[in-house]
Amino acid sequence: MSNIQTKFHLVHPHTRSVASCAVETRVVRRKSAHFKHSALSSCEAGILREKRCFTQPVTRSMASHLATRSSVARFNRVSGFTLIEVMVVIVIMTIMASLVVLNIGGVDQRRAMQAREMFILDIKKINKEATDQAKVFALNTQNATDVAPFSYNLFEYHDQSKEQIQQADRTWQPYLEFKTRQLPEQVSFSIESLDNENYPKAKNEDLLGGKAPQLIWFGNGEVKPVRIQFYYQQQAIGHEFEVDHLGKVNEN
């Protein structure tokens, strides 16, 4: 028995040391595993931080680069024009300029035609007044100059044969009740005599001679017939018309 106890006492401490060593080994392994896990976790966290630190600047730089390219492209689209766009603008401007020129020319031609109509009304009025007042009238014209447009007025005949002192320059005097008419710029008319028939009150050279006015109202309902043509920029405008021996206006 003493031998067995002695063996037990000899074996028991060793068994206890082995058990304690096993426990310590497990504890160490757990600590080591925990340390490794902690180390891995810290490493992964560091890697993630590095990735974030690396990714964020790259992302920001790419975003800023894309924004810059977008702004540059937008600026190029706004500030730049293609050849087709330039040609379209030129064509539109040419069409508008031609329309403006045509419109201006059309306005001037309408003014010329209005002046023609006013002249015809004046002729009818003069014919009536000459017959009513038994006065001899003649149409006087003034060609256009650098400072004045084409104009016309009315002269009244004064028979110098009844005067004691005859003055040739007083034969035809301006009829003040008829105001001078001025035509629009570059508008004029021509007068062409049609015949030299015998008229009761036209027995002298003042009325029928070569120096006599072309259009005369004799005051008795008779008129020296003429043909009249209006011009705009030296080009005929409107139809020519005639004033017959009775003062009637005939438009062709």
Annotated domain spans of the chain: 109-251
Q: Which pLDDT value is given to residue 181?
A: 95
pLDDT reported for residue 176? 92
Q: What pLDDT does residue 67 have? A: 58
Kindly report the pTM of this predicted structure. Answer: 0.57
Give the HSE-up count for residue 83: Cα atoms under 13 Å, Cβ half-sphere.
0
Q: What burial class does residue 59 get, using C-beta atoms within 10 Å of its C-beta: 0-12 exposed, 13-18 middle, 19+ buried? A: exposed
User: 10-residue block means of pLDDT along the chain (252 residues)?
Assistant: 42 45 50 48 51 49 59 53 84 81 70 93 95 94 93 89 60 91 94 71 61 87 93 92 92 76
DSSP state string for 171-233 = SEEE-TTSPPEEPPTTEEEEEEE-----BTTB-SHHHHSTTS-SSEE-SSS-B--EEEEEEET
The dihedrals phi and psi of 99, each to the nearest 5 degrees, come to -65, -40
Kindly report the CATH class assigned to 109-251.
alpha beta
CB of 172 closer than 8 Å to CB of 178: no
Return the pLDDT at 53.
46
Query: How far is CA 42 from its chain centroid?
Result: 76
Q: Which amino acid is at 5?
A: Q
CB atoms within 10 A of CB 204: 13
Query: Beta partners for 187?
Result: 232
Give the pLDDT score at 172.
87
The rounded radius of gyration (Å) of the Cα atoms in the chain is 59
pLDDT, position 194: 87
Task: Map residue 11 onto helix, strand or coil.
Answer: helix
